[in-house]
Structure 1
């Protein structure tokens, strides 16, 4: 059920993300769970994506990521969580896509890329995360979007960063549009992709989608990279 949650102490090194990806493995039981779900198995088995360990499912020695690695890593909350990264993962130059819209039209869902940069699949249990009956609490919906979009930014930052201590990434702004109830229990997919970057600013979008492809919730957000410092 759970991702390997042993504490990691190497997260301040220059190659911390590469080290993490090389030394951790996605939980086989979670991969098997999503392979047993026909509409998600097509993604797990897609040659366009690779399965990667989910960074926030591993508790750090500093206490970082306790929420996703412990609080909502139970049979009654989110027992399975698996992340996929596009194999053809390209980070745009800082000056590219400067006119790309970063806000969501609340009247209609954003058209996502055919192959978004990263995808996270989650199995939601009930009633541990519910607000209304059999419906995910809106605050948890927001937390899932924040976490998966943050992972996307970490992957892009790692893709272009030079030598030096770990960058610290913070959510500066997150706007969530709730379009339909997110069922819990149930399986969902979160699509995330980078819109553009400007200096230390990263703009991204994310969508929670069900089996029918219905966008249940979506968000646009801004992440900021702080000056590098040893944590």
Structure 2
């Protein structure tokens, strides 16, 4: 039996959902095995954080706790990789692989549209927070527009991607998509996030 490679061991340590059976599909394995894919920690509310960190970071118990169950959000992998979108400012994108159950349905076999908006808001916000490299309180959503182009089918797995397109002062503009396994766009989003003011500085 061949011993696991260091990369395999690191993935298992950081993000145990990689072993979820829904993530063994060929198109998902092609993403996860790509050397440019950097799997990042998925930290749920309160875990591995101090009370101070919990006060300043977005815990998002809605996504990480309430909707995470065997018929809802069954498993999730978070990662970063190079972005090929022409309007990407940093040429880096932030991604979720999401295994969705029928407990997220609006119509039968289709995830509720509000769930797609929630996913986009969470992912775009994480992108804004990380790209700004400020620490402290996360940026707030100012506007979020989601275009619904095709149903998000359940049960199934989708890929959500987000990237920054502009940054001016406290304002961060981003775009994102939710895609199916063929690369078809189910939802497309654009958003503006506002970083909190720093104490002692005038409003921008």
Q: Give the TM bin, normalised by the shorter chain.
A: 0.7 to 0.9
Alignment check: 8 A CA contact 1:59 1:65 kept: no
Distance 1:35 1:123, change over 3 A: closer
The correspondence of residues 145-184 of structure 1 with structure 2, limited to 5 A, is: 145-158=120-133, 161=134, 166-184=136-154
Distance 2:86 2:67 in 1: 30
Find the counterpart in structure 2 of residue 207 from structure 1. 177
Shift of 1:167: 3.4
Find the counterpart in structure 2 of residue 140 from structure 1. 115
Alignment check: 8 A CA contact 1:26 1:82 kept: no
Which consecutive residues of structure 2, in runs of 5 or more, have no partner in the other structure? 1-12, 48-53, 200-204
Find the counterpart in structure 2 of residue 58 from structure 1. 45
Distance 1:116 1:191 in 2: 10
Find the counterpart in structure 2 of residue 76 from structure 1. 71
RCO (CA 8 Å, sep 6+): is it higher in 1 or 2?
Answer: 1
Which consecutive residues of structure 1, in runs of 5 or more, have no partner in the other structure? 1-24, 90-109
Where 1:155 maps in the other structure, the secondary structure is helix
Deviates most, 60-69 or 192-201: 60-69
RMSD: 2.4
Alignment check: 8 A CA contact 2:166 2:172 kept: yes
Where 1:70 maps in the other structure, the secondary structure is helix
Distance 1:59 1:134, change over 3 A: farther
Which segments of structure 1 move beyond 2 Å, counting only runs of 4 or more?
Answer: 57-64, 110-113
Instruction: Give me the TM-score of the superposition, normalised by structure 2.
Output: 0.77
Alignment check: 8 A CA contact 1:145 1:190 kept: yes
